[in-house]
Amino acid sequence: MSDRQTIVSADAPAPIGPYAQAIAAGGFVFCSGQVGMDPAAGTLIADDVAAQTKQAMANLGAVLHAAGLTFGDVVKTTIFLIDMNDFAVVNGIYADAFGEGAVPARSTIAVAGLPRGAKVEIEAIALRA
């Protein structure tokens, strides 16, 4: 019997393909990448990386909340950027979202493209205590 559970949040964008917002398994929650998409409209909220990053973090927070978790439970993130020159802006917003607590391990990767023309995508793995 599998302990796999699909996590769904109405406060984050619905998947635009065959994937779940998050899957809980083996004490971990694996969150799919979030972009700066407005959950209600289904479109990117703006063309600038700061606004998209804030929305991506809000979307990720909504998925974590649906799993009964917070950013404090995150143990690993991956950030995908279209332009590595945006690193400082994204890093500042990311740091604000995690606050003063323990920060997770992280990788940041430059990519050639992201869904819907997004400038940033952020995924996370969290631990259920």
Which H helix or E strand runs over 60? helix 49-66
**Low-confidence winner among 34-43, 47-56, 93-102, 111-120 (lowest mean pLDDT):** 93-102
**Model pLDDT for residues 22-71, shown as the tens digit of each residue:** 999 999 999 999 999 999 999 999 999 999 999 999 999 999 999 999 99
CA distance 44 to 38: 6
- Count how many residues are written for the chain: 129
Number of domains comprising the chain: 1
102 versus 36: the higher-pLDDT residue is 36
Domain of 39?
5-127
> Residue 83: what pLDDT?
98
> What token pair was written down for 17?
């393909």
Interaxial angle between packed helices 49-66 and 87-98, expressed in degrees from 0 to 180 and rounded to the nearest 10:
30
At 101, the pLDDT band (50, 70, 90 cuts) reads: confident
CATH of the domain at 35: 3.30.1330.40
> Residue 1: what pLDDT?
46
